[in-house]
Amino acid sequence: MSTAVIGAIVGLVVAAIDFALLRLLASRVELPETKRVLNVTGLSQFVLLPIVGYLVAPLMSGE
């Protein structure tokens, strides 16, 4: 498995943890707009963090 794929997997795991924490925070907020923003932010990180991990991991490892 290449370093880029490992970085993408790590990014996906971090996104899942962050999504769970943002959903927990959204359940405690009263304003519906804030809930929507927190949920959209959590979902967008499922796309962004694996891409960043895929691109940054080879740079950090020196490949």
pLDDT band at 1 (very low <50, low <70, confident <90, very high): confident
C-alpha–C-alpha distance, residues 17 and 30, integer Å? 22
Q: Comparing C-alpha atoms, which of 34, 33, 16 is closest to residue 25?
A: 34
The confidence score (pLDDT) of residue 61 equals 85
pLDDT above 70: percentage of residues in the chain: 100
Vertex 51: Cα angle to 54 and 43 (nearest 5):
140
Residue at token pair 């740079």:
59
Give the pLDDT band (50/70/90) at residue 28. very high
CA atoms within 13 A on the CB side of 28: 6
Q: What integer pLDDT is reported at residue 48 of this predicted model?
A: 95
Whether this model's pTM surpasses 0.95 = no
